[in-house]
A and B are shown apart, each in its own frame.
Chain A
Amino acid sequence: MSLSRISLQEVVKRQYTYKLRAYIQVFMSLVFIQVLGILFSFNGVGMMGTSSNTFDISVHFYSADIVVIFTLLWAFISAILITTQAYRNDDFAFITNRLSSNLSNMLFLLTISLVGGLTALLSSHIMRILMFVLGQSEYLYTPTEVSEWIIGLIATVLYVLLFAAIGYFVGTLVQLHKIFAVLLPVIFFGILILGAGTMNEAIFRNVFEFIFEESSLALFMVKIGVLAALLFSGSALLSNRMEVR
C-alpha cells in the first residue's frame, strides 16, 4: 500500500483556497459594515471656519475615517470568529494539522486585510460621488497624489492586519479557556474607564503613540510586522496542542 504524502506547503495552499470559498460570509459582512460606515460618514468628521472682513467661509470635512475604523472592528471580529470551534472543526473535516490550519488562517486574514484596507480607502470615492449628487454645499476637490495612494494602501492594510492579528490572538486565548472571554473585556474596559489619571493612562498613551502616532511609514511597517508576527506565532503556539471536535 502506498500512502499519499503531502507537504505542509501544499496543504496550506489547498486550505487557503478552500477557506476563500468557505468563509465567504466574511466578505459579505465587510460590504454591510462599509455601507453602514459610508452612511455614518455623511455627518462629516469635522468643520473649519475662516472669516475675513468680507467673508465667512465654513468648510465641512468628510473622510473615510469611519469606514476605516469600522473595517478595523470587522477584521477584529472576523478573526475571532475563525478561531471558534465551528470553524476549527471545519478544517478537520479535511487534511490538516494545527500548524497548517493556523498558517492558512493567517493567509486568509492577510487576504481580508488587503481587501478590507483597499475597499475602505476606495469607499471615500463613493462618498464623494454621493455628496456631489445629494449635497447642497459646494464641493472642494482635494487631489490624491500617487504617493498618498501608496502610503494609504500600505498603512490601512497594515492597520487592518494588526486588528485581525489581535482578534486572532484573543480568539485563540478564548478557545484555550473560556475564562478569557470574560477576563479580556474586563481588563480592557477596566483600563479604559478606571485608568484615567493613574499610571495605566500613561501605559495606554504609550501604546497609542507607539502605533497611531508613528510618523515614519518604514518604522510603522516594522512595528506592525513584528507585532503581527508575534501575535500570530503566539496564537499558533498556544493552539498547537489544542484538541478538536
Chain B
Amino acid sequence: MNIIECRSLTKVYGATKVLNNLSFEIQENKITGLIGRNGAGKTTLLKIIAGYFRETSGEIKIFSERPFNNLLVSANVIYINDQMNFPAALSLKEILDVSSTFYENWNHELSDRLFDYFSFQPTQQYINLSKGMKSTFNMIVGLSARCALTMFDEPTTGMDAAVRKDFYRALLKDYIDYPRTILLSSHHLNEIEDLLEDVLLIKDGKELLHIEVEDLKEWGIGVQGPTTAVKEWIKNREVIHSKNIGLDQMYTVVKNVDSELDKQKSQASGLLITAVSSSDVCVYLTSKTKGGIDDVFIKD
C-alpha cells in the first residue's frame, strides 16, 4: 500500500516554483531519506504532506486522502522540524501530557524513558531550551506519537555528535518495535545512510532519484586518469561530476551502466575505476553545476 502518492505536485511562491511537477510514491513501513540541498523544496514538500501548505497544482494523497484540512491525515501524521513551537504556558512534562491526549498511539513509557535519558527537567520551559535540546525534545515527541507517517525535517539541527548517534539508534529501535512509515529529511546522506531503506533525491523541486540505498551505493563510478583518455571514455556517458587534478589528470563520476568486462577494459587503458560512496553521489547529483566550488576560482 502506498502511504504517499504524489503526482505532478507543484507549489508556486510568487514567481518561483518551489516544487515542480514532483511525482513519487512511498510505500508503507519504509524509512525514506529525503535528500536535497538547501532550498530544494524538502520542507515545502513535507509541509504539504502534513497539511500545512496547499498544493498549487497536481495531486497529493496521504493514506489516499488529500492532506490539507484533513483530520485523518493530521491524526496519523506527525511532522517535526526545528521551527516547532509549543505553548509557553506549558512545562515540558505538560507538553508531553497534552500530546498524549491527542495522539491515540502515544507511548507514555517511551516518552518518559527518553525524557529521563536525555535528562530533561519536568518543570523546564520549552523556550528556555537550547537549540540542540529543543531538537532532542521534538524528537521525543515525534517518536512517542507513533504516527503511521512520521516525518523528521532536519531533526539533528544543533544536536551534538553523541545525541545525534543516540537519536538514530532510538529511531531505529523504535521503528523495529513499531514499524511505520518514516520520512527523514537531510541535506547530507552519510549520517543517516545506514538507517534508510530508500532515498528520495530532489533538486529544484524535481525528483532526481528514488531508489534503494543499496542501489545508490553502486549508482556511480569514478574514473580517473589522463585528461584526454578520460574525456574520450566519458563520451556518450552521463557525467555527474568532473574535476581536474593537477595539469593533465582528471576525475569524473558517471552513472554506472558498464559491465564488469567494460571496467576491466578501461583499466587496461590506464584509467582508474573507483566506487563512489552514495553520499558523494547525492552531493554530485544535487549540486547546481557539473563542476564544484573550484570552478568558481578558475579564470580562463
User: Which residues of A approach B to under 8 Å, CB–CB?
Assistant: 1, 3-8, 11, 14, 17-18, 21-25, 86, 89-90, 92-100, 240-241, 243-245
Instruction: Report which of B1, B52, B85 forms a contact with A86, defined as CB distance below 8 A.
Output: B85
Residues of B near A3 (CB, < 8 A) are 63, 72, 75-76, 148
Residues of B near A22 (CB, < 8 A) are 87, 89-90, 98
Residues of B near A94 (CB, < 8 A) are 98-99, 102-103
Residues of A near B88 (CB, < 8 A) are 25
Across the interface, name the chain A residue whose C-beta is closest to B104: A4
Give the interface size bracket for B toward A: 35 or more
Instruction: Report which of A14, A23, A90 forms a contact with B85, defined as CB distance below 8 A.
Output: A90
Interface residue ranges of B25-60 to A (CB < 8 Å): 28-29, 47, 50-54
Q: Does B70 lie at the interface of the complex (its beta carbon under 8 Å from any beta carbon of A)?
A: yes
Query: Are the C-beta atoms of A17 and B52 separated by less than 8 Å?
Result: no
Query: Are the C-beta atoms of A97 and B102 separated by less than 8 Å?
Result: no
Query: Are the C-beta atoms of B47 and A95 separated by less than 8 Å?
Result: no
Query: Are the C-beta atoms of A95 and B54 separated by less than 8 Å?
Result: no
Docked complex Cα distance between A7 and B103 (Å): 13
Query: Are the C-beta atoms of B148 and A17 separated by less than 8 Å?
Result: no
Residues of A near B148 (CB, < 8 A) are 1, 3-4
Closest CB in chain B relative to A103 CB, distance in Å: 12
Residues of A near B99 (CB, < 8 A) are 93-94
Main SS class of interface, A: loop
Closest CB in chain B relative to A83 CB, distance in Å: 15
Query: Are the C-beta atoms of A1 and B104 separated by less than 8 Å?
Result: no
Closest CB in chain A relative to B57 CB, distance in Å: 15
Q: Does B123 lie at the interface of the complex (its beta carbon under 8 Å from any beta carbon of A)?
A: no
Residues of A near B1 (CB, < 8 A) are 1
A-B contact pairs, 5 of them (CB 8 A): A3-B63, A21-B87, A21-B94, A90-B85, A93-B84
Closest CB in chain A relative to B42 CB, distance in Å: 14
Query: Are the C-beta atoms of A97 and B69 separated by less than 8 Å?
Result: yes
Q: Does B16 lie at the interface of the complex (its beta carbon under 8 Å from any beta carbon of A)?
A: no
Residues of B near A11 (CB, < 8 A) are 71, 75
Query: Are the C-beta atoms of B71 and A4 separated by less than 8 Å?
Result: no
Query: Are the C-beta atoms of B52 and A21 separated by less than 8 Å?
Result: no
Instruction: Report which of B69, B75, B85, B87 forms a contact with A4, defined as CB distance below 8 A.
Output: B75
Q: Does B83 lie at the interface of the complex (its beta carbon under 8 Å from any beta carbon of A)?
A: yes
Query: Are the C-beta atoms of A97 and B89 separated by less than 8 Å?
Result: no
Closest CB in chain B relative to A133 CB, distance in Å: 35
Docked complex Cα distance between A21 and B86 (Å): 12
Closest CB in chain A relative to B48 CB, distance in Å: 9
Query: Are the C-beta atoms of B74 and A97 separated by less than 8 Å?
Result: yes
Query: Are the C-beta atoms of B71 and A100 separated by less than 8 Å?
Result: yes
Closest CB in chain B relative to A54 CB, distance in Å: 62
Query: Are the C-beta atoms of A96 and B54 separated by less than 8 Å?
Result: no
Residues of A near B121 (CB, < 8 A) are none
Docked complex Cα distance between A86 and B69 (Å): 19
Instruction: Report which of B47, B76, B87 forms a contact with A23, defined as CB distance below 8 A.
Output: B87
Query: Are the C-beta atoms of A1 and B98 separated by less than 8 Å?
Result: no
Docked complex Cα distance between A150 and B72 (Å): 43
Across the interface, name the chain B residue whose C-beta is closest to A100: B71
Query: Are the C-beta atoms of B52 and A245 separated by less than 8 Å?
Result: yes
Residues of A near B83 (CB, < 8 A) are 245
Closest CB in chain B relative to A55 CB, distance in Å: 57
Select the residue from A4, A7, A89, A99 with max chain B CB neighbours within 10 A: A4
Across the interface, name the chain B residue whose C-beta is closest to A26: B89
Closest CB in chain A relative to B87 CB, distance in Å: 4
Across the interface, name the chain B residue whose C-beta is closest to A15: B102
Query: Are the C-beta atoms of A24 and B72 separated by less than 8 Å?
Result: no
Across the interface, name the chain B residue whose C-beta is closest to A3: B76
Docked complex Cα distance between A18 and B74 (Å): 17
Query: Are the C-beta atoms of B103 and A95 separated by less than 8 Å?
Result: yes
Q: Does B236 lie at the interface of the complex (its beta carbon under 8 Å from any beta carbon of A)?
A: no
Docked complex Cα distance between A167 and B57 (Å): 34
Instruction: Report which of A5, A14, A90 forms a contact with B87, defined as CB distance below 8 A.
Output: A90
Docked complex Cα distance between A243 and B94 (Å): 27
Residues of B near A7 (CB, < 8 A) are 71
Docked complex Cα distance between A241 and B101 (Å): 26
Instruction: Report which of B75, B84, B86 forms a contact with A95, defined as CB distance below 8 A.
Output: B75
Q: Does B269 lie at the interface of the complex (its beta carbon under 8 Å from any beta carbon of A)?
A: no
Query: Are the C-beta atoms of B63 and A240 separated by less than 8 Å?
Result: no
Query: Are the C-beta atoms of A1 and B53 separated by less than 8 Å?
Result: no
Closest CB in chain B relative to A229 CB, distance in Å: 21
Across the interface, name the chain B residue whose C-beta is closest to A87: B87
Query: Are the C-beta atoms of A243 and B53 separated by less than 8 Å?
Result: yes
